[in-house]
Amino acid sequence: MNVLKNATWVFLLAGILSSCSNSATKEKVQPNFVIIMADDLGFGGLASYGDPRLRTPNIDYLAAKGIRFTDFHSNAPVCSPTRAALLTGNYQQRAGLEGVIYVRGETREVGLDSSQVSIAKLLKTAGYATGIMGKWHLGYQKEYNPVYHGFDTFYGYLSGNVDYHSHYDNAGIYDWWHNLDSIYEEGYATDLISAHAVDFINENKEKPFFLYVSHEAPHVPFQGRNNPAYRFPGKKFSYHGPVEDTVKVYNEMVEVMDEGVGEILNALRKNGIEENTLVLFISDNGAEIFGNNGKLSGQKGNLLEGGHRVPGIAYWKGKITPRESSATVLSMDVLPTLLAMSQDSYSEKLQFDGVDLSKHLLHNKSIEDRDLFWRYRNQKVARHKEWKLLLSDKDTLLINLNKDVLELHNLSKERPEIVKDLLKKLEDWEKEVGPVTAMKTI
């Protein structure tokens, strides 16, 4: 397994990284990177992934003109762990973030430690402008702020969700920031995130940039542009919001996010940099009950496919050939992929759990088979090729995903030798990343 044992050592290479970056930028034009992450968007939650109720022409354009992945997975079935894996390129267990960082309780004091390597730190060292617009959810305390993880610019919120209009979180705490400062900014959260993303592109069009657009939509609370704010300090309020027609508002939330994707694409075109920009559209986990996971079993919070198989799209005009890909890809693969595409020689010196997908994206090269793992609360998964072993307190499931992606047929008794092999792989992986702890699984 390709592993970064200790993330902190990477900073010993700072001098090497800087020199490599300077020489590379003089010789080559480095591509821009835009990651757009939806929140709680399930596998079937887009028109291009089978939902005829939704009008998502801009995201569907990316899917039609780029690569539409059918086996893309979030590293976890919930928010914080997936985001940790995305930014570090490693299993989130290595960063000690296996569960959700809640706005209340002991997890409010924890977060992604600034000693961890991050995609923004590495690209910033390579000469990139770096920005995150939207949801952070990797720590509430000042020391965990995005600016300490390599981001030059941060507009958004720290918690898991905010009122889309008043910007108060689920504990009634105001949560809207510019870098380290709490700011008042009027507007619908999705529109603000998209607007700041466009501003970032316009301001950094003359240099390579990495832009992480971390949308709240379509995570609860259910609020459209014209629904009233309902979260305020000192008042009681529901988690999901007061809206009665949740399906209608949910669809609107996705469609407004799609409008923002169109605005980002237009900004790239107007600035003449669309052909030098890789755009990735992904989700942090599967949908809750009000969303759409297609025909998959399970939902957000569990390790059936509906909890972590999500939309994944890669678009790069003139560089990526439009197609569908059945390659198995995880959130943690993004960092090594962008690092390789940034054209700096030092990328080969670093090791991650994630793998470089650049040759698959640009040249349709196959991705080498690998063992993959998930762990959340009392659930564990080991996967090798088409075989998926799912352990829980209730059962042991062995699924052949090539024949049974809906996970209806348990083959554990028919193929005990495969169960034994995957159990051993899972045991070895857990020895490497560490055991489950109470803090990790909250």
Active site residues: 79, 137
Contact 171, 101 (CB under 8 A): no
- Bridge partners, 156 (sequence order): 134, 177
Integer Cα distance of 365 and 356 in angstroms: 11
- Exposure string over 284-321, b if 16+ CB within 10 A, otherwise e: bbbbbebbbbbebbbbbbbbbbbbbbbbbbbbbbebbe
The pair of three-digit structure tokens given for residue 427, joined into one six-digit string: 């045991």
Distances in Å between the alpha carbon of 38 and those of 4, 51, 62, 282, 400? 27, 16, 14, 6, 28
Residue 284: which of 422, 134, 81, 148 has the closest Cα? 81
Please give the span between the terminal C-alpha atoms of the chain, in angstroms, as a whole number: 27
Distances in Å between the alpha carbon of 422 and those of 128, 385, 412, 431, 436? 41, 11, 11, 14, 19
357 Cβ contact list (under 8 Å, min separation 6): 327, 329, 333, 336, 337, 367
The pair of three-digit structure tokens given for residue 146, joined into one six-digit string: 């995005």
DSSP letter for each residue of 393-417: SS-EEEEETTT-TT-----TTT-HH
Q: Which helix (H) or strand (E) holds 134?
A: strand 129-135
Distances in Å between the alpha carbon of 86 and those of 37, 117, 296? 10, 11, 23
Look-up of token digits 């052949």: 400
Contact 189, 254 (CB under 8 A): no
The pair of three-digit structure tokens given for residue 8, joined into one six-digit string: 């902190």
The total of other beta-carbon atoms located within 10 Å of residue 32's CB is 24
Residue 40: which of 92, 95, 80 has the closest Cα? 80
- Bridge partners, 373 (sequence order): 382
